Amino acid sequence: MEKLRTNAQHQPAVCTPRFFSFVTQKIINTLLDRLGIHSNNRALKALQNQSLLKSGFTPTYFRTLGNFLNFQAKLRHSWSYSQSMLCVGLDPDLNRLPVGIARTSLGIESFCIEIVKATAEFACAFKPQIAYFSANRAEAALENVIGAIREYAPHATIILDAKRGDIGSTAAQYALEAFVRYQADAVTLNPYMGSDSISPYQDYPDRGLFLLCRTSNPGGNDLQFMQTQQGQPLYQLVAQLACTDWNKNQQNGLVVGATYPSEIKIIRQLTGDLPLLVPGIGAQGGNLQKTVANGLCSQRWGLLINSSRDIIFKSGESNFASVASHEAKQLRDAINQAKHNTI
């Protein structure tokens, strides 16, 4: 008995899984309390049910919160630091990758990281399109590309272009994917199922939600111009809801195509300083001067003007990165000149 007691005294303390989980939860709750986020938050509950948290992994989500007070502050930093309203879209089409880049997930990753490095100083934001990654089993590449953006362009806002439009528990999983797995600062959403399709994302109050409003594709007219009971086009009602009832955390923005600059002006009048993500410049033929003139907010920012193909695929040769850098600079300068021309 004495021998057993002596051996027990020299046994090292064992950190059991239950004890580790308890300590991890205490750390997370303390951090959340300091950041003003309550532990009954639906996002936290979702995380508690994930194997990542059960295995002791502390998501980066909890480490990055608090860098900025809110999404608007993040955007203001991106604009002012870069002195740019250019958003570089990352749409790595396998069939258009340059010479020397493998048509694989590793090739996608390498290509996108080189584009990020080449254009970082000219961009206020990057917008990876999730389908080009997931369709080619390159989700891990997307995680690494986003990590590279954090490294080479820490000022930039990262917008995951996913256009999710589901509700309930499914939408909650999509939110977890965008903000925890991929660590995006913002995500694009399709709000045409109503507030149910937005509310799960609002559990991440420091992240941005860009809602489809007046899109750049011709088929957008099929629905977006339908007259509501209030006697206005549907896209205008979406714009109004996005800056009022649907914007409890002041985290919303809108997707508005540069191919319709007159509607950009109407949306800006309806929504005040709400940020606008604007595709359609370049390959789709949007008018840059009118877009900037009609879309600037009261602080003379307010726009994230996206260009993808005209930058990343301008060259199909081994000099693709330097050519992309040149094109990004040219477009950044053109946007700033259009801003200067706007009184």
Confidence check: pLDDT of 152 > 90: yes
**Residue, of 77 and 65, whose pLDDT is higher:** 77
Contacts of 51 (CB under 8 A, 6+ apart): none
pTM, two decimals, is 0.81
Q: How many residues does the chain have?
A: 343
pLDDT value of position 63: 36
The amino acid at residue 3 is K
Residue 217 — left, alpha, or beta (φ > 0 → left; ψ -120 to 50 → alpha)? Answer: beta
pLDDT (tens digit per residue) in 107-141: 999 999 999 999 999 999 999 999 999 999 999 99
How big is the chain by its Cα radius of gyration, in Å?
Answer: 23
* Residue 285 confidence class, pLDDT cut points 50, 70, 90: low
- The gap between the terminal CA atoms of the chain, to the nearest Å, is 90
Q: How far is CA 264 from CA 54, 229, 258, in A?
A: 46, 22, 8
Average pLDDT over residues 187-201: 94
Q: What's the token pair of residue 307?
A: 């260009």
| Residues 314/323, Cβ–Cβ less than 8 Å | yes
The amino acid at residue 286 is G
Which of these is catalytic: 163, 265, 290, 339?
163
DSSP string, 117-170: HHHGGG-SEEEEBHHHHHTTT-HHHHHHHHHHHHHH-TTSEEEEEEEE---HHH
| Residues 213/238, Cβ–Cβ less than 8 Å | yes
pLDDT (tens digit per residue) in 84-114: 999 999 999 999 999 999 999 999 999 999 9
CA angle 168, 38, 159 (to 5 degrees): 55
Match 């008018």 to its residue by tokens: 287
The amino acid at residue 268 is R
Pairwise CA distance, residues 108 & 228, whole Å = 43
Q: For residue 64, with 0-12 CB atoms within 10 Å meaning exposed, 13-18 middle and 19 or more buried, which class applies? A: middle
Residue 212 — left, alpha, or beta (φ > 0 → left; ψ -120 to 50 → alpha)? Answer: beta
Which of 22-26, 43-47, 133-137, 286-290 shows the highest mean pLDDT?
A: 133-137
**Residue, of 152 and 41, whose pLDDT is higher:** 152
Q: How far is CA 140 from CA 91, 143, 330, in A?
A: 15, 5, 32
Q: How far is CA 1 from CA 5, 7, 11, 12, 13, in A?
A: 6, 10, 16, 19, 21
The tally of CA atoms less than 13 A away on the side-chain side of residue 85 is 26
| Active-site residue flag, 163 | yes
Q: What's the token pair of residue 168?
A: 């309930």
Average pLDDT over residues 240-255: 95
Pairwise CA distance, residues 166 & 304, whole Å = 25
Confidence check: pLDDT of 27 > 70: no
Pairwise CA distance, residues 244 & 102, whole Å = 47
pLDDT value of position 283: 61
* Residue 343 confidence class, pLDDT cut points 50, 70, 90: confident
Confidence check: pLDDT of 319 > 90: yes
